[in-house]
Amino acid sequence: MAKAGRGQTRRDSKRRVLRPGESIRADGKYQYKYHIDGKPHFVYSWKLEPTDKLPKGKKPCLSLRELEKQVNTDLDMLVNGPYTPLLKNRIINGTGHLSNEQCASALKRIYSHNLESIFLCHLSENNNTPDKAYKTIASALTQIGVKVGSDVTLAALPRRESSLLYTF
């Protein structure tokens, strides 16, 4: 349903306007395409908006519009930051660094009620903030029904000072 001729507005099956870079794949997943140094990159979701219902049998996920916001915010920090093109590419391609979104996705897959604490550390000084990391992970945990603060302790540790002492 997302196809439109030249000059026409592209819409999804619910008649919502798709923004530039957004499309719908044949399997029904929404897709957002963006470029870094001329190379295409993609994020996918079963939902366009946060309020959309998840298709039956699909795992909880952020909506495409939420992912777009994260990609564009953190990506802007990275692309416009002081790192060399080689290091930027290594970070973007996921070899050697873990983004907030990758961490959130992994935690959603592996979370167990036996997990008591999650510590976010070694955060990039140029391409991330403790607040962004915390909010991304807290949102992912909430999506799978985990209550941060009661079910699990979540802490973004400081960069240049000692953290609180945690005992187990």
Looking at residue 7, its pLDDT comes to: 63
The whole-angstrom separation of Cα 62 and Cα 50 is 7
Confidence of residue 111 (pLDDT cuts 50, 70, 90): very high
> Do the beta carbons of residue 123 and residue 129 sit within 8 Å?
yes
Whether pLDDT at 155 is above 60: yes
Cα(141)–Cα(157) distance, rounded to whole angstroms? 18
Cα–Cα distance measured from residue 63 to residue 44, given in angstroms and rounded to the nearest whole number? 8
pLDDT at 2 over 60: no
Per-residue pLDDT at 96 exceeds 60 = no
What is the signed CA dihedral for 77, 78, 82, 88, rounded to 10 degrees?
Answer: 180
Q: How confident is the model at residue 153 (pLDDT cuts 50, 70, 90)?
A: very high
Question: Averaging pLDDT over each range in 35-39, 48-52, 59-63, which range is the top one?
Answer: 48-52
pLDDT of residue 122 exceeding 90, the answer is: no
Output the pLDDT for position 5. 57
- Assess contact for 42 and 32: CB atoms under 8 A: yes
pLDDT at 115: 92
The whole-number pLDDT of residue 72 equals: 64
